[in-house]
């Protein structure tokens, strides 16, 4: 897809963006003005944003595109705005996409309408970045409980006792859709487990791996991966003092088009668009019926 200018958008897309950004109207107002369903208005607006940024938008997950798009369009709820700003607080494809959109829409939107990008926050070594770990203790307990179930207390990593203890907490009903064991890559010693869990329609990637401990200037990026040109970044994380990497992140329903989960080691001062050094890979497959 080629990039288009604002003038190159479809007339309906131009009209929707003008009402949303130049006149600061809501999705509901635009729906009434143009005799459209509110969901159709939102879809038209988001389609326009993707048409303006065909190179950067595919590198951003659909969940982040929706939250960040609504933030830029002035339609995000308080919770969604907080989620979007959280995704924009580190160097990432999401931040690049948002910056590109804001730059293109600057002269089109009413002054003061477009949000400012939040300052970049970098996590110190030894702390887990919230971009990968879902908010709330319940989400983390679900993550570690599923990992404990999959590794069965001995096959997947160097910190299984800690995880198994947490797994005794009661968790909502969940189904493991895909799973895989990590193996080291490029001569690196690594092991662990990755799994995608469905819980009430929400898909969550759960990761626990024993990998080389990261330093203060690097971290691990988690990717859904087929190749360097067919991949999706999910976030960054750091290990504990023992080299255990653990966390969970929401994924879109189309995660099934990716064959593996990859862990790569990256400098925290960069925003890679593909893995720099792959440390571990876990091919994803449906759970065996014999388990």
Per-residue pLDDT tens for 87-120? 888 777 888 899 999 999 998 999 999 999 988 7
Q: Which contiguous run of DSSP H or E holds residue 15?
A: helix 11-17
Residue 20 and residue 110 in contact, taking contact as beta carbons nearer than 8 Å? no
| C-beta pairs of 98-104 under 8 Å, 24+ apart in sequence | 98/68, 98/71, 98/72, 100/52, 100/53, 100/56, 101/49, 101/52, 101/53, 101/72, 102/72, 104/6, 104/52, 104/53
Q: Are residues 99 and 186 in the same domain?
A: no
Same domain, 73 and 168: no
How many domains does the structure of the chain reveal?
Answer: 2
In angstroms, rounded to a whole number, what is the distance separating the alpha carbons of residues 11 and 30?
14
Q: What is the pLDDT of residues 42-79, one digit of tens each?
A: 999 999 999 999 888 887 888 889 999 999 999 999 98
Cα 61 to chain center, whole Å?
Answer: 5
- Joined tokens for residue 156: 């997947």
**Domain ranges, residue 22:** 6-105
Claim to verify: residue 75 and residue 189 sit in the same structural domain: no
- pLDDT in the model for residue 130: 37
Per-residue confidence (pLDDT) for residue 164, from 0 to 100: 38
CB 267 within 8 A of CB 217: yes
Does the residue 37 lie in any domain? yes
Query: Percent of the chain having pLDDT more than 90?
Result: 44
Please identify, among 105, 126, 145, the residue that sits at the C-terminal boundary of a domain: 105
Domain boundary among 82, 105, 128: 105
Q: Is residue 115 part of a domain?
A: no
CATH number at residue 179: 2.60.40
């Amino acid at each position: 897809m080629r990039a288009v200018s604002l003038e190159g958008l479809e007339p309906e897309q131009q009209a929707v963006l003008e009402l949303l950004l130049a006149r600061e109207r809501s999705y509901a107002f635009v729906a009434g003005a143009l005799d459209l369903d509110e969901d159709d208005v939102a879809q038209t607006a988001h389609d326009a944003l993707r048409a303006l940024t065909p190179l950067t938008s595919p590198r951003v997950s659909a969940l982040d595109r929706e939250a960040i798009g609504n933030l830029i369009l002035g339609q995000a709820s308080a919770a969604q705005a907080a989620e979007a700003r959280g995704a924009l607080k580190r160097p990432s494809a999401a931040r690049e996409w948002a910056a590109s959109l804001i730059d293109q829409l600057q002269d089109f939107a009413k002054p003061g309408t477009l949000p400012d990008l939040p300052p970049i926050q970098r996590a110190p070594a030894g702390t887990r970045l919230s971009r990968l770990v879902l908010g709330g203790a319940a989400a983390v307990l679900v993550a570690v409980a599923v990992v404990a179930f999959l590794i069965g207390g001995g096959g997947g990593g160097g910190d299984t006792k800690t995880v198994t203890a947490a797994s005794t907490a009661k968790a909502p009903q969940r189904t493991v859709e895909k799973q895989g064991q990590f193996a080291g890559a490029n001569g690196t010693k690594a092991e662990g487990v990755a799994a995608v869990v469905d819980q009430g329609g929400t898909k969550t990637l759960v990761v626990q791996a024993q990998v080389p401990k990261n330093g203060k200037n690097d971290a691990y990026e988690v990717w859904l991966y087929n190749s360097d040109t067919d991949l999706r970044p999910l976030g960054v994380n750091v290990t504990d003092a023992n080299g255990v990497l653990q966390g969970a992140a929401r994924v879109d329903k189309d995660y099934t088009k990716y064959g593996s989960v990859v862990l790569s080691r990256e400098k925290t001062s960069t925003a890679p668009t593909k893995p720099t050094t792959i440390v571990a890979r876990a091919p994803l497959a449906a759970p065996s019926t014999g388990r």
